[in-house]
Amino acid sequence: MKIALIHFRVGETDGVSLEMDKWKKALINIGHDVIYISGNNESEEVKVIEEIAYNDKFDSLIGDECYNELRKFDCKSLKKAILDRAKIIKRKFIKIFHEEELDCIVPNNIFALAKSLPTAIGLFEAIKETGIRVINHHHDFYWEREKYSSPTCSFINSLLVKYFPPKMDNMSHAVINSAASEKLMKKKQLASTVVPNVFDFNAPLWKKDDYNSDFKSSFELTDNDVVFLQATRVTNRKSIELTISLISDLNNKLASLIGKTMYDGRIVTKKTRLVLLVVGLHEGLNDYENRIIKYAKNMNVKMVIDPSKVGHTRSTVDKNKVYSLWDAYVYADIVSYPSIYEGWGNQFLEGLFAKKPMIVFEYSVFEKDIAPNGFNYISLGNEYEKYENGLVKIDKSVIAEASNNVLDYLFNNEKRVIDVEENFNLGKKHYSIEFLVELLNMLF
């Protein structure tokens, strides 16, 4: 079959884009021909519909009017704007369906997150007119996000019910965790297949090479600095402040560690720093980012937020060197994964493959679907409270225990090697591309 994977963006480091790459690889392995349809253009394999782009200004305006506050529109004119935009998008989808002679499409979050009402309606109408086969890949549902809980106009609620996701005879559904499957059945009476995130554990391991040899110095870090890597977007639910709290606790112990030899032979000196390096996809400075910058400063934690140097793949932008996301993992001593909510957990898989110890807050999907496989990790527990400024905190005793576990992984190389190798093998067993191929063979 010729299949199109559809999303607001491709070729970036967000979880959906990365997972689409894996689906594409698996589908090609099965023997299908695969292209992308997206709002941004990264290669000849992408068919672009500019109106569905993640950062399209008009689409973002409509989103703000729908879920935040009516400013430019009233409810009547907002509905007209949505439907007018949907008609344009519908025509463009139909054009691509015909020109590419597609047999099947895979919308990613288009009918789940409710980010773009015009995109969902336009795609729905294109599917309805052409009768093309659809397998939805739902990563996050709108009812899982507070943002979509109080629409500004009553008609929006009816659109959420009708289109997120819709019920069509030629449409089936895949979700990324068991809780989402249960909720989809309960809320919409729709059956779904659970397809967890996966990783290619047979790929060449990420290593130091000539290209990434200056990775740490490009961030003004020294070889002796200890890097805690946060390779996610900077949004509230990532709870990066938990790792800041943990590093603050470790900083209090740093003086007593001077002269000790780390797992890789480096020796702790007076100049050694514990650094939180944040290099995930950047969607513009936001209030949460400002809050964690202030929090890190108050906690005396060195934090570097510079995603401009790291991208989906190695490249050059405006004559400046850009490293791949995988280069960042090569130089990480510890991987930070403190999210209080995730639909699944791409970064956890990346940490398994990179053979790095990981700091994990045990969010509900992790507890239910991932932890039972027996992985080794530094736990931040599963309970949190919120400060008045919206940042989250966990019990000091949990921080203290996590701090001791971090030190174990930094200074006990035998434990480190045994645990990360076991993690890698468990990841390969449960979340490989081969497992994805089996599931997609059934779906397609």
Rounded to 10 deg, the angle between the 287-298 and 240-251 helix axes is 10
Vertex 24 angle, CA 18 and 28, to 5°: 155
Domains, the chain, with CATH or none:
2-195 (3.40.50.2000), 215-432 (3.40.50.2000)
Encode the chain (444 residues) as per-residue pLDDT tens digits: 999 999 999 988 788 888 999 999 999 999 999 999 999 876 667 999 999 999 999 999 999 999 999 999 999 999 999 999 999 999 999 999 999 999 999 999 999 999 999 999 999 999 999 999 999 999 999 998 888 999 999 999 999 999 999 999 999 999 999 999 999 999 999 999 999 999 999 999 999 999 999 999 999 999 999 999 999 888 888 999 999 999 999 999 999 999 999 999 999 999 999 999 999 766 555 789 999 999 999 999 999 998 889 988 899 988 899 999 999 999 999 999 999 999 888 899 999 999 999 999 999 999 999 999 999 999 999 999 998 888 999 999 999 999 999 999 999 999 999 999 999 999 999 999 999 999 999 999
What SS3 state is found at 207? coil
Stated pTM of the model: 0.85
For residue 281, the one-letter residue type is: L
What SS3 state is found at 337? strand
- Taking a C-beta distance cutoff of 8 angstroms, is the pair 218, 227 a contact? no
The DSSP code sequence of 104-148 is EEEEBSTTTS-S-HHHHHHHHHHHHHH--EEEEEES--GGG-GGG
